[in-house]
Structure 1
Amino acid sequence: MSGDYGFIGLGAMGYAMAGMVRKSLPQETTLYIYDVYAPSCERFISESGSYGPIVSVRSAKECATKTKTIISIVPTGANVREVYLDTERGVMAAPMDSQRLILECSTIESEVAREVAKELAQAERGTYIDTPVSGGVPAAEARTLSFLIGRAWNEEDDMSVRAQQCMEMMGQKKKFFWCGNLGAGLAAKISNNYISCSVLLIIAEAMAVGVRSGIDPKLLQAVIHNSTGQSFMGDHVNPVPGVVAHAPSSNNWKLGFKTQMMIKDISLGVEAAKRVGIEPRMASTAVEIWKEAAADPRCIDRDGSSVWLHINDISET
């Protein structure tokens, strides 16, 4: 683990992932962090500073200037372009370093990942690898994330070895899937999310049917868990409060994934399906349901802490 590390994006997932990185790094190694919402950085330093030095920086450019390895996770492809390609505040504005390793963990379009990677490589700003993650905040906090990697594993390839060492700070090696080509990790993640974003709606409806039919919700969950309806989402994201102790519904939704982001993720699946000639009937319906849910006042973010603003909207002062 040579050189200092940078982490960009301290939303719920990024916050938990960055915490594991800080705990895993040698104590003398500095972790540079950047998020457009400064209070997230301040809270992170307060909670994780005892594990080693943490420095909050004011731009992705500054983060890249000071580090050999960058990990990022932000909401959208537009945010990724800003973080890396902005010529004033992005990684593109940092000094040239062809040995800079970039692990980009966001769930975005494969095409955007390939575009960003190409421009960074041509400008000698580093090697960009799409490494989307799966498992949610609980897996991030338990260091058991899955990584879907847009690169072929090669033990002779220094970047692959460094990437694996970095990912081992946040996930389990047995759950690292080397998908072969740039953008392939994202294609795998989008396919997975096509299922998870849709099936969660089915679980909600099924639980409602059973409970309104007089079945105790915990008993119903036990039946489903031990029957053909069993799924990861049912076991870990059951929407009925008090049924699954570690589910967001049982924790005042503190561990939850924003409803608005569900629309983004399932829409990526719809777009990907259409590009390869598949009519996404299930996901198209799911998108409309998630849009209805997102319009509910209970799903509107009120504190701004998880909203990633555009870099150009953030002043230097």
Structure 2
Amino acid sequence: MKRLKKTVCAPESTYQFQSTAAITMAENSNFLDVNFGFIGLGAMGYPMAMNICKKMSPTKALYITDVSRPAVEKFLAQAMQENWGGLVVIVETAKAVAENAETIFTIVPAASHVRDVYLNPETGVIAAGKSEGRLCVECSTIDLATTRDVGEKIMQAGVAEYVDSPVSGGVPGATEGTLSFLQGCPPASALSARLTAVSLLMASPDKIFPCGPLGSGLAAKISNNYLCGTNLLASAEAMNFGIRNGVDKHILYKVIQNSTGQNFMLDKVTPVPGVNPAAPSSRDYQGGFKAQMMVKDMTLGVEVAEATGVVATMGRAALEVYKQAAVDPRCIDRDVSVIWRFLDGPE
């Protein structure tokens, strides 16, 4: 593999959007026999791009960019050292990625970054010009208004087909290639068939969900995150007072696991240290989803709920607790399950 710094000329599109949902095996392979692009090599994006590189056609290239030069340099070096498969090309802008790739994934921290990646008139995807076959899959967790505005502008300009497709499964899912993809596109369509084919490079086959029109993937993700935040806090509080009343933490964990209070956040994230060896709490809350980020997710949930006339009573209460934990020195930059420590749970 040879390191390339210079942007090459954009290849002709190898895919034309179809009017039917009938996709043959040959057509499915065509979806993968293209150049890919990836924008945003953070905690989630890096392993997602890694899986694309390992599984894509070895005759095609993966064009990458990130605001962090060390991140792209590390990615290129690791791809060369471990011989992942596809050629890796570092470019400087989202525009350069779009000029060279037919299928582009983006995952960045916030709505402002999404706007810049797509709509910056000089360096954004929109500056790459029109393309009949380009597909942009936006995986960030942001507000619905932004993704709808960005998506409509990109599609109205004829630059690409744009789909909001937030992911769930965290860094372990991204690394293992078992993410869930919640896609803002109609099911049983040519677009959903193409999305399924490319998402399977990073997802489990049973975890790809076409949710409806533009924005519906994010609506589903924000709904799920709202439950994650409230369930985690409720689980931590329940375990805390149960243990303080004399129930052994291992017994209480098993009781709830096998009773009506059972939930994923207690089962897998498990805020109580020393109960689940695989949980961040058993390694001093290192790794995982940072406590500060839960403020963003809960805020999105509360805002979306109240914008549609739903009174977010549990979400508002949980949000205030997470805001306090986000600035607590004991919790900053640790997994959000450190909320147990914020609640002075016994360790």
Partners of 1:14 and 1:67 in 2: how far apart?
17
How far the C-alpha of 1:269 sits from its partner, in A, is: 0.9
The answer to whether residue 165 in structure 2 is matched with residue 127 in structure 1 is no
SS of 1:12's partner is: coil
SS of 1:87's partner is: coil
TM-score by length of 2: 0.81
Instruction: Return the letter of the residue paired with 1:38.
Output: R
Partner of 1:20: 51
Out of 285, 294, 301, the residue aligned to residue 326 of structure 2 is 294
SS of 2:274's partner is: coil
SS of 1:26's partner is: coil
Stretches of structure 2 that go unaligned for 5 or more consecutive residues are 1-31, 335-347
Stretches of structure 1 that go unaligned for 5 or more consecutive residues are 303-317
Partners of 1:281 and 1:14 in 2: how far apart?
33
The answer to whether residue 176 in structure 2 is matched with residue 142 in structure 1 is yes
Partners of 1:15 and 1:81 in 2: how far apart?
21
Task: Indicate how the Cα distance of structure 1 residues 43 and 217 shifts in structure 2: closer, same or farther if over 3 A, else same.
Answer: farther
Moved more, 263-272 or 244-253: 244-253
- Retained in 2: the 8 A contact 1:247–1:255? no
SS of 1:63's partner is: helix
- Retained in 1: the 8 A contact 2:98–2:125? yes
Partners of 1:217 and 1:297 in 2: how far apart?
26
Partner of 2:63: 32
Q: Deviations over 1:131-188 (max 9, x none)?
A: 1111212222222211111111234x2x332211111111122222211111111111
Partners of 1:252 and 1:167 in 2: how far apart?
33
Out of 191, 213, 227, the residue aligned to residue 195 of structure 1 is 227
Partners of 1:90 and 1:109 in 2: how far apart?
20
SS of 1:283's partner is: helix
Partner of 1:315: none
Task: Indicate how the Cα distance of structure 1 residues 250 and 26 shifts in structure 2: closer, same or farther if over 3 A, else same.
Answer: farther
Partners of 2:110 and 2:130 in 1: how far apart?
25
How far the C-alpha of 1:48 sits from its partner, in A, is: 3.3
How many corresponding residue pairs? 300
Partners of 1:221 and 1:58 in 2: how far apart?
49
Partners of 2:312 and 2:280 in 1: how far apart?
28
Out of 33, 47, 52, the residue aligned to residue 78 of structure 2 is 47
Moved more, 215-224 or 17-26: 215-224
Instruction: Return the letter of the residue paired with 2:67.
Output: V
Moved more, 79-88 or 131-140: 131-140
Larger RCO: 1 or 2 (CA < 8 Å, sep 6+):
1
- Retained in 1: the 8 A contact 2:164–2:214? yes
Partners of 2:132 and 2:151 in 1: how far apart?
12
Task: Indicate how the Cα distance of structure 1 residues 219 and 43 shifts in structure 2: closer, same or farther if over 3 A, else same.
Answer: farther
- Retained in 2: the 8 A contact 1:75–1:261? no
Task: Indicate how the Cα distance of structure 1 residues 107 and 213 shifts in structure 2: closer, same or farther if over 3 A, else same.
Answer: same
Instruction: Return the letter of the residue paired with 1:45.
Output: L
Q: Deviations over 1:26-68 (max 9, x none)?
A: 2232112222122222222233332122222222112112111
Partners of 2:57 and 2:284 in 1: how far apart?
35
Partner of 1:223: 255
Q: Deviations over 1:180-230 (max 9, x none)?
A: 111111111111111111111112222222333344333332222122221
RMSD of aligned Cα (Å): 1.9
TM-score by length of 1: 0.88
Partners of 1:207 and 1:35 in 2: how far apart?
41
The answer to whether residue 212 in structure 2 is matched with residue 167 in structure 1 is no
Out of 136, 147, 150, the residue aligned to residue 113 of structure 1 is 147
Moved more, 52-61 or 163-172: 52-61
